[in-house]
Chain A
Amino acid sequence: MSAKLKIHVDPDKCQGHARCKALAPELFDLDEYGNAHEVGDGSVPDGLEDKAYLAKANCPEIAIDVTEQ
């Protein structure tokens, strides 16, 4: 059993590339300007861990944190 993950988008770094939303729509949402934020409190449901890391690895602004709880 792997550790629970939590994601966070730094709103000061995000520039709205929207890669996270494309790769992990269950974990990220966009505001009216297209800038990203995590869904809910950022807890990653079981089975979506790979998608969390994939979104992080494709963010050009390095705005996504993935932490083990």
Chain B
Amino acid sequence: MSDTSTIPQHPPVTDWVHDFDHTDPRWTENPFPIWDELRAASPVVHTDRFLGCYLPTTYEAVREIAHDTEHFSSRRVIVRDERPEVTRNAAPPITSDPPEHKPAKQLLLPPFTPDAMKKLEPRVRAICNELIDEFIANGQCDAAARYTKYIPVRTIAHMLGIPEQDSDLFIRWIHMILELSIRNEGILVQGVQEMTEYFVGHVEARKQHPTDDLISTMMNARDKNGQPLDDAHVLGSLRLLLIAGIDTTWSAIGASLWHLAKHPADRARLIAEPDLMPTAIEELLRAYSPVTMAREVMKETKVQGCPVKPGNMVLLSFPAANRDPAFFPDADKVVLDRKENRHAAFGLGIHRCVGSNLARMEMTVAIEEWLKRIPEFRLDPAGEVTWSQGTVRGPRQLPILF
């Protein structure tokens, strides 16, 4: 793991409305009451931290920004202490704006349709059971470290055609790029560089021996002029697929198990009514949405009547939008059979998560297989649940007894 001792600490927050900080330990531990306080103050709040950053607090404000690609750019998708030069082809299409966005995204969509996910499902079920086999005899486990962590990383490795055994390496890069990098630019550069070198090796190998996997799909893709993508685009998209597909779903599965460990009635209902699973998964996605994206303000405009100025970032909190009581009745309750659920867990507008169908399938299979093998479980009172900080929120330590 990287050296974290040199990372500057932020001063604690005393005024959330005018000085919020999504890396504050209280936000990481329990953000929901903080979002309620901010939402009660304004649909858009601002902090001078992170060189200036807005936070839309309502569903409508989040939707307005997500749909406005004229005033809000995706060229930076993580809010950090520093704001270095933007590199081209950082991770297309997530870091792309129109008109480059659509062709870059269309290349990635066909391998992630619901039908494509059905073909992948047996491998995911097998991964879940291999993981459960390793700890089921113990009567206890850290479900975040032993189960939820490895399902998405091994699945995306399988899709990309890289060794599932390299999982811990991928997780290390993601921790560097998504968490440690918020306060230390050098760690970001190092993580991206290590990842790029790894993929260069796999791309070169496929030039000699083509394979049938996502890396080859990207290498064989053609742009609208019939030309192959340049290496920087291929490597950028491969980095995106690895980064975006892992700790996001790790978090969503973990938060779902955390909820079910604490709510025996919901657990019993899911076992008794397996047909409820798809609706329940949507509700768990709404209530515990892991991903907060970012935008950069390019031109002055207003959001829900609030002025926003260029030079600032925007923390695009889909999780906060999904807890807006003006949009979701009983927003703070998990209602497993919620009928009307336009949640924004996978974003809204053109940047809808490419892997949403993959994430849903992984979550469904992971919860189904867990409930089949371990129907009764609870949080270990002797252990501590910890949550990841910043861009993606989910349990990183989840001690369970069964």
Contacts and interface: CB of A to CB of B under 8 A. Distances in A.
A34 B358 CA distance: 12
Contacts of A61: 348-349
* Interface residue range, chain B: 20 to 34
A17 B112 CA distance: 11
Contacts of A11: none
Interface stretch (B172-180, B296-304, B335-343, B380-388): B335-343
A18 B342 contact: no
Contacts, number: 52
A38 B185 CA distance: 47
B220 to A, nearest CB: 16
A15 interface: yes
B352 interface: yes
Interface string A30-69: 1011100000000000000000001001111110000000
B278 A22 contact: yes
B43 interface: no
A33 B106 contact: yes
B109 interface: yes
A33 B344 CA distance: 20
B278 A17 contact: no
Task: Please indicate which of the listed interface residues B113, B278, B346, B349 has the most CB atoms of chain A within 10 Å of its own CB.
Answer: B113
A54 B282 CA distance: 14
Contacts of B343: 60
Interface in B94-130: 106, 109-110, 112-115
A57 B344 contact: no
A30 B114 contact: yes
Contact of A17 (B109, B115, B339, B356): B356
B350 A15 contact: yes
Contact of B344 (A32, A58, A60): A60
A34 B339 CA distance: 23
A58 B114 contact: no
Interface of B: 106, 109-110, 112-115, 278, 282, 339-344, 346, 348-350, 352, 356-357
25 contacts: A15-B352, A16-B109, A16-B352, A16-B356, A17-B356, A18-B113, A18-B356, A21-B114, A22-B278, A30-B115, A33-B106, A33-B109, A33-B113, A34-B109, A34-B110, A34-B112, A34-B357, A54-B339, A59-B342, A60-B342, A60-B343, A60-B344, A60-B348, A61-B349, A62-B342
Interface of A: 15-19, 21-22, 30, 32-34, 54, 57-62
- What are the 8 closest A-B residue pairs judged by CB atoms, nearest first? A15-B352, A33-B109, A57-B340, A34-B113, A60-B342, A32-B110, A34-B109, A58-B341
